[in-house]
Amino acid sequence: MEELLTIVKESSIRAVRNAVSALSAILENKIRLQSCSLHMVRPEEVLDYIGSTFSSIIGVVSKFRGVVEG
């Protein structure tokens, strides 16, 4: 289970990093994220964590896309 959580965490970090990089390019401005404290995800909450993390990223990108495309 610990290996799965590590994979999820690393995938989430890469996805956020790529989303921030894309938004920086779109807005032609450097975007920085503020660090937050880490928290443990219980095994039964892994799927919810994955879903909420990627839903948040998709939501932010969609909002910026709407602003950019008008």
pTM score: 0.47
> What does each of the 70 residues of the chain score in pLDDT, given as a tens digit?
678 777 777 877 788 788 888 878 887 888 777 666 566 767 777 778 777 777 777 777 777 777 667 6
Q: What is the pLDDT of residue 17?
A: 82
The secondary structure of 4-67 as a DSSP string is HHHHHHHHHHHHHHHHHHHHHHHHTS---PPP-------GGGHHHHHHHHHHHHHHHHHHHHHH
Q: What is the pLDDT of residue 37?
A: 59
Cα 51 to Cα 55: distance, rounded to the nearest angstrom: 6
Q: What is the pLDDT of residue 36?
A: 62
